[in-house]
Structure 1
Amino acid sequence: MVIAFIAPFEQIRIKAQSIIDTSNYPAKAYLGDLHQGVKAAKRALDDGAKIIISRGGTARLIRRSLDVEVIEVEASVQRTLAFVYKETTETSRVGIVGFAPLINLVSPICTILSRNYRSFELREKESFQERMDTLVHWNPDVVIGDAVAFQWAKSKGLNAYLIESSMETIVDAFERAMLVYKNLNRYFLAEKKLEAVLDCTRDGAVLVNSEGQIDEINRQGCTILGQERDDLLGSNIAGFFNTPELSKAFRKKAHARNMIVTCHDDKLALDHIPVSSEKLSDNASVILFQPVQKIQDAGNLIRKKLSESGFYAKYTFEHIIYHCQEMKRLVEMAQLYSRTASNIMIVGETGTGKELFAQSIHNAGALSNGPFVAVNCAALPGNLLESELFGYAPGAFTGASRAGKIGLFELAHEGTLFLDELTEMDVFLQAKLLRALQTGEIMRIGDNKVIPIKVRIIAATNKNPLEAIKAGRLRADLFYRLNVLDLKIPPLRDRKGDPELLFTRFLEKACHLQSIPVPPLSGKLLKELRHHSWPGNVRELENCAEKFATLQSLHDFDTPLLSSETHHMGRISSDGTASESLLEGSTLDEMIAAKVNQIFKQENYNISKTAQRLSIDRNTVKRWLGKDSKPQGIVPH
């Protein structure tokens, strides 16, 4: 064991232990708050720990009491911001209790959100009880504090919120502890061991002293910089990474991530991680760097592998069947749209084929090699849809995967994201979607890292977008951001000649799947196809064709395929033609069960003869008889 994690409360100990178990850090988690934490740290040092990780007042007390390097876990800004935003209002009285770093974290958030707050900073010379008495006298609506303040407020019946640390901030503390350990190795371990540790990372890594000179560099770093290790040692880092952002971070010994610099005509992504301690006079920094192109290639490879697992478009313009001129014009327009990467809005009634057009546009354009990711905005509640679209960081919320989750935006990178039923999306989530479209960047839930994305959005709705805007269900700015190109798919009832054509194609397909001959279509049937209103559009027509094909196996079967107040398709007789009388209001299962029971009665309740007459097996006859009421006193045989 090298690192001891002193947890002030049980929840953070559980998080730390899970990270230790899954990441193989040379560490052990202990439980102890304030003075109990100091005692736990002493036990850890006796067990061989070299570095202590803790948070809040416990970390400060250990640092003051013991001669040991202490890494402090940062609180989660994202969670604190979310709590203050969602759980308080401008009239709420918010009491902030804790040491200076906690006050400095929460106070700006309350200021930005215009909250009525008061800080009760804990100092070493002041008694805790005095501050708490002052807090109670102020009568806050909610108390935001560290573990001790939280537990005290709860014991007094106050509404309290515990400032927690996210999994990411805990992992970051472990990473900093490991870097400190590597730096300390320069003083009590062999140089070869430090070199081996640095070489474990895929990134280029340099250890820089307080003068900006390279004290150590790994093999990957030498390869990226194109020089030998001996030539690089002692060189000033500014000769390779000369950027104001890095210079400022180095000077202030501050963390800085995702900096972009140019070195030898290559763009590199840099992270600056300070390694400092009051016990060491020679403060240092670790700089991790990697070619941006390598990062992009790795990301694209991951996305490609994920897309191969099912995120692809299977339909093309050849799958769009039509006869009418309006559909011909619409397909030609969509083919022109496919040559661009602009966002598209598709409007059409349910069942008109909006996703069919979206997939066809994707497959015909330059993005066809990228993924096609579809999501129905009405199928998921707002918070779940948000996590699906944007993903989340490890431990972002209760029940979240410890590994985090990649969102659909990332999966659709360099491809198409199809948002079906857009007007059903939560308005708050629409604002976040608009922000992503404007910036070309997203941030996973519970994370603080920005992820660039390149995605073409095709949105669809069966509602009138302008009416949805007036009703407050759709943001106008989002609509105009998506409505760069537009398609309005006509309903089937307005497509002259298409119902007969589509019915014929669907009937041929259904008969082929059932291995039965295609029945003839009477003039009466074709006329009814033309004049039916088709409220379900093409989807209803396809279901009707499948039903028509299925009923051919029931000889002498008179039952309706369509029912409406004004248009009917008639019953099917034994010769496959349509008769004029109708039986309305029955489902397909009910009609089949009723007909099987009718034949069963005609065959004197003999299952074998019924099966022979219907050309189906006995078990099928029994199953359909079970779906209908049987005559009293009759036992099937």
Structure 2
Amino acid sequence: MPERLVQYATALSCLSPWPLPCSRREETMVIAFIAPHERISIAAQSIVEASGYPAKVYLGDLQQGVRAARQAIAEGARIIISRGGTARLIRQELGVEVIEVEASVQRTLAYVYKETTEETKIAVAGFEPLINLVAPVCDVLGRTYRSFELKEKSSFQVQMDRIGKWDPDVVIGDAIAYHWAQARGLDAYLIESSLETLLDAFERAMLVYNNLCRYILAEEKLATVLDCSREGAILVNREGVIEEINRQGCDILSQSREELIGALLSDYFDSTELSRAFRKNQTARNMLVNYRDEKLALDHITVSADGQTGSASVILFQPVQKIQDAGNVIRRKLADSGFYAKYTFDDIFFASEKMRQLVAVAKQYSQSDSNIMIVGETGTGKELFAQSIHNAGPLAKGPFVAVNCAALPGALLESELFGYAPGAFTGAARSGKIGLFELAHEGTLFLDELTEMDFFLQSKLLRALQTQEIMRVGGNKIIPIKVRIIATTNRKPLEEIQQGRLRADLFYRLNTLDLKIPPLRERENDPEQLFELFLARKCERRGIAMPAIPEKILTLLRRYSWPGNVRELENLAEKYATLHTLSPFDMPLMTEFASIGMTGADDENQQEATLEDFIVAKVSKVFRAENGNVTRTAQRLGIDRNTVKRWLDKAPDKVPA
């Protein structure tokens, strides 16, 4: 809004409650015309009656005009129109803006030209605007004149006495000078306003009225928005005085709006951090302040106006408990849906250079929305990388939808991925079901153990990736999708292609970007570092002190091949946290180390065997120790059942699983 209009709006909005909705042009008066004399009153009244302006005309000059303006405001007037000295007095004594009616230049020029000569002594008497109007006319026409400017009421008589001593032939002025001259028998001419200037004043008043309506409507909208917020909001001036507050703020502080407006902010929020931010005109967020018996989370935001920062401040606040409760609800909903990624790159712990380089590459991949293939043995952290990539990239705000391709048979996995139409098959929900592709729209679909997917279903997946479109099972409607795929496998993709278990075209479609996560045995210094980290976490969770780790155990950690990788190492840390109170080298944990091959008399022979032979031998050994039970073998090694079976299939004596 223009500066002068802002002044109007600010001043006028303090007068009284708005009498009616701004959009309604009714008989209700919002404009008051204060006429200094009867002739201008009659002219103004005719304009109101002819135009239908929401206005009322009052008669009153000078102090009578001030009283009339005060009455008009009490009756609901929001905009005042007057002229000359009356306008000035209303502005001074009531502290409101007044739209001033201008005098008619044409009438003034016509009078001076026709009714005076160069010998005529003209006294120009009135307030500054009138002097500025008449004096140039006299200069142009070459008339003899002297100006007598009226200012404060106390100086009126002094100026009139000066006019009398000068003894002019005619006094040209406003109502004050005109009536004074007539009372003393002097010839006088009243500078009047033409119909055009009156109409112009009313048009300006209507312009202010319409803009004021928009201003008030904007304030009402803003107030509505603030009242819909869950946070309390306070507007504070530079003196720290509360100027405005929303409904939530009153509720949180348990105070009425009337009690809060005009109070000092420091009376409610006693915080050194807040005081410092306010004093330095700095925005500060996530501050904690005590209010009565609860903690509030508070933001201090500086307000900029007309290029100046710090003219006011906004304080946003709400109870910490309310934030925590809302966060718990959201987390429960997300956990129930499972469509979010909880891990980031900060959750990937490593000490080896190989992992550092891998994480750097993964961070670069995260900035792309291209498909990614992650290859790594069981327990190396493939899903950890997948979630971290999702959370670090442009799709982080989208869903992260995960599915284990090995956990579901082909037909069921198809309906899960693509959804199904109502009545698509026996037992289908009547309303149908949305598929994971649709749920992952604008996000990431994580396909774990891709090589376990049915070969036929792989072709349908490839089609979806090529066209970015899907069709629900049993449906006939094409559904566009925008999904980034991150797929993983613990097998060697090229071998799976050669054996006919993985489509080559699907692999190359997904292998746009590739990550190969090294097994734990190839990560120098990581086994002992990770063991200490996991052990610290387990002990912290149990509320016990972290025990010392004997050097012998650290040596064994470095020597072991870790067929179960990080998952196996974490299980071992859990067991150590549980049993560490026993004698370090007599506890069952050391027997466990020996049983899975971390120690033994065959080390020299094992050095000549391949790594694969070593793992096969150790898995077979545990399998026999568990009397051929695959589940217990997997649990003991910290790997899944499919991995146990795969290693057993490679045993020379083909241990039956």
Question: Same fold judged by TM-score > 0.5?
Answer: no
Larger Rg belongs to? 2
Q: TM-score, normalised by structure 2?
A: 0.40
